[in-house]
Amino acid sequence: MRLKNVPGARETIDASAFTIPEPEVWKGRWQEVFGRQAPLHIEIGMGKGQFLTALAAEHPDINYIGIEKFSSVLVRAVQKQNELELPNLRLIRMDADSITDVFASGEVDRIYLNFSDPWPKERHAKRRLTSVEFLRRYENILAKDGHVEFKTDNQPLFEFSLEAAEEAGWKLLAVTRDLHHDTALNKGNIMTEYEERFSAQGNPICKMILCQA
Ligand SMILES: C[S@@+](CC[C@H](N)C(=O)[O-])C[C@H]1O[C@@H](n2cnc3c(N)ncnc32)[C@H](O)[C@@H]1O
């Protein structure tokens, strides 16, 4: 499989070869990677990329970066990216723990978090992508008017996230506990792989949109 338009990318992809090796090199310079100035939206924990590839196809005017920890799933997103030939999408394999090493202050305009792992044990709470610790990291990279959009079917994680947002001093712009029946918030909604799976099981989908106060 060939990779296109990606600085430093290798020609062949396997489970250990990814579109942007050493992403830290591009901190503060992501517009150079895309070769144009445009808003930058990222998804953390993109899995196989169903959501972000559809979004990138729908909005060619936005630069997108997908971040995923595991190569075994990211490789599927790379395949989709290549099939759809999306010049406005780049993918990074990394743990979001080090997100502030990769993006400069104010460089990101929007962060999507979709069906993030719930880490149900209390001792793992800091690993939840909506914990106060992660919100502090997002504060470092988000533009002044940037925001975070979070969807999940996991009610305890949703309530935890609302509390974390309040503790971290974030402002809630929108909230629903039944997205698919919320006409306003569901407008233009793109289903993620997990969203399709869980809503088919009858689980209501929760969504919140947060910005810095
Ligand atoms: C439950 S899946 C959801 C996938 C996709 N967002 C969806 O909605 O279909 C969560 C994904 O987030 C990734 N992930 C979890 N923690 C992460 C982290 N700290 N950094 C990067 N990716 C992470 C996992 O590897 C997994 O692929």
Domain ranges of the chain: 23-212
| Low-confidence residues of the chain: pLDDT under 50 | 1-17
For ligand 1, mutation pick of 67, 74, 115, 117 (most atoms within 8 Å of CB):
117
Look up the CATH number of domain 23-212: 3.40.50.150
Beta bridge partners of 111: 42, 148
For ligand 1, mutation pick of 43, 46, 197 (most atoms within 8 Å of CB):
46
107 is known to lie in a ligand binding site: no
Index of the ligand 1 atom closest to the CA of residue 96: 20
pLDDT the model gives residue 170: 98
Q: Phi and psi at residue 188, in whole multiples of 5°?
A: 75, 10
Ligand 1 contact, 112 CB (< 6 A): no
What three-state secondary structure class fits 44? strand
ipTM over 0.95: yes
85 within 8 A of 121, measured Cβ to Cβ = no
Sign of CA dihedral 81, 82, 88, 94: positive
Which amino acid, residue 189? N
Index of the ligand 1 atom closest to the CA of residue 194: 9
Read off the pLDDT of residues 96-132 as tens digits, 9 standing for 90 and up: 999 999 999 999 999 999 999 999 999 999 999 999 9
List strands edge to edge, sheet with 108-114: 89-93, 63-68, 40-44, 108-114, 142-152, 206-212, 170-176
